[in-house]
Amino acid sequence: MRLIIRLVLALCLVVGTNSFAEPEAMKVLERMGIAAKQLNYEGVFAYQTGQNLQSIRIIHRADEQGETERLVSLNGAAREVIRTNDLVTCIFPEGKRVNVNRRPLGRGFPSDLLRRLGSATPYYEVVKGKQGRVADRLVGELIIKPIDNYRYGFRLWVDKESDLLLKSELLAEDGHVLETFAFSTVEMGKTIPDSLLQSQISSGTEMTWDRTEPVSAANMAATNLLPRWHIAWLPEGFSLVAQQNRIKAKNGATVEQRVYSDGLSSVSVFIEKIRARHSHLHGGSKMGAVNAFGTILSAHFVTVVGEVPAKTVEKIGASISPADGKQR
């Protein structure tokens, strides 16, 4: 599953400079970001990608210590996510294999989408749409169109009274809905006791991380990862936001991963030296909104994966080459 990354300050910076956005639409975005961080609310929302449908309960509290948010899976395997500001803890039942996934319950709605959107608005047109209803509440629509065909668009529905985001759709280039999530019920402004923010899985496995992951220039220089491979093309606005080396458990091969993002959309590049003959993706592959492209380059498996159109991962993959031009 894919589905939690800084909003209000970034929005304030781009409101006056984004030539692609309607001023009133940007004001709605700014208020929406503030509401998501400062409101107390509790509700149930559905998240759907492809044939997979999840129902998730969310409890969010804001106080002098910051934000605390609890997400509870209501169908399928029992899972909970508790976020305290940027510290995220995933709880699984005892004996359940823990899959290291930074978005174990959809997109960490609504904080993740809003935080990422703030820094990405220069690469998207933001305009107001029609009014409607979500969870029996009056909402206004925001339409977010990318400036090119290398990333997806969004439609958002924002509560007219509270400015809380109540529904979003991820849109393909042709307007087809790839992912959606929407509240079915929501209560706002209520008192949230500590008990509602504590896990109900009494015995389980926990995984905790800090979701703020800036790239360390010193670390990259020390590990000397970047000079080995050259990526000649990325969509406008995409830059390196994370990188790591890890060891594959099955064959002991070192896998280099780089993550590139415009703030909202992201792409991962995996580079693995071939150690033995085994199956590997060659060409394109698609699962829901995620596209992948694989090839073999200079005795390495190269795989590009992202929640972007197929043409994007293919073009990035075709632009990768060894930085020194030598065979390895």
At 47-80, the pLDDT tens digits run 998 888 999 999 999 999 999 999 999 998 888 8
Q: Is the peptide bond before 110 cis (omega within 30 degrees of 0)?
A: yes
**What pLDDT score does 107 carry?**
46
Q: Which pLDDT does position 22 carry in this prediction?
A: 85
pLDDT above 80: residue 132? yes
Residues 196, 227, single domain; the answer is no
Contacts of 65 (CB under 8 A, 6+ apart): none
Q: What is the mean pLDDT of the chain?
A: 81
Rounded CA gap, 75 and 232, in Å? 44
pLDDT score for 86: 80
CB 1, CB 103: distance < 8 Å: yes
Share of the chain above pLDDT 70, in %: 73
Q: Please report whether residue 185 resides in a domain.
A: yes
Pairing label, strands 290-297, 283-287 = antiparallel
Q: Are residues 115 and 185 in the same domain?
A: yes
179/269 same-domain check: no
Give the pLDDT band of residue 291 (cuts 50, 70, 90).
very high
- Residue with token string 């609890």: 70
The confidence band for 250, taking pLDDT boundaries of 50, 70 and 90, is low
Among the residue ranges 62-66, 130-134, 262-266, 292-296, the one predicted with the least confidence is: 262-266
Looking at the DSSP bridge assignments, the partners of residue 272 are 255, 301
Classify residue 135: in a domain, yes or no.
yes
Residues 250 and 104 in one domain: no
- 46 & 125 share domain: yes
Q: Which residues share a beta bridge with 322?
A: 229
CATH of the domain at 227: 3.30.200.100
Amino acid at 280: H
222 secondary structure, DSSP code: H
Please write the tens of the pLDDT for every residue from 165-222. Answer: 999 999 999 999 999 989 999 999 999 999 999 988 876 666 665 555 444 444 544 4
Within this chain, do residues 45 and 134 fall inside the same structural domain, yes or no? yes
Reading phi first (left if > 0) and then psi (alpha if -120 to 50, else beta), residue 298 is in left
Question: What's the pLDDT tens digit per position in 11-48?
Answer: 333 333 344 568 899 889 889 888 988 999 999 999 99
Residue 231 structure tokens: 């990526």
97/190 same-domain check: yes
User: Of 154, 179, 210, which one is at a domain's C-terminal end?
Assistant: 210
User: Is 1 among the domain residues?
Assistant: no
203 and 130 both lie in a single domain: yes
* Same domain for 285 and 161: no
pTM: 0.80
Give the confidence band of 2 by pLDDT, cuts at 50, 70, 90. Answer: very low
* Assigned domain for 327 exists: no
Domain boundary among 176, 210, 244: 210
> What does the DSSP assignment read for 53-88?
EEEEEEEEEEETTEEEEEEEE-SSS--EEEEETTEE
Structural domain count of the chain: 2
Of 178, 210, 242, the position where a domain reaches its end is: 210
pLDDT of 309 > 60? The answer is yes
Q: Which domain holds residue 294?
A: 217-322
| Distance in angstroms (rounded) separating the CA atoms of residues 218 and 196 | 41
Average pLDDT score over residue span 97-124: 59
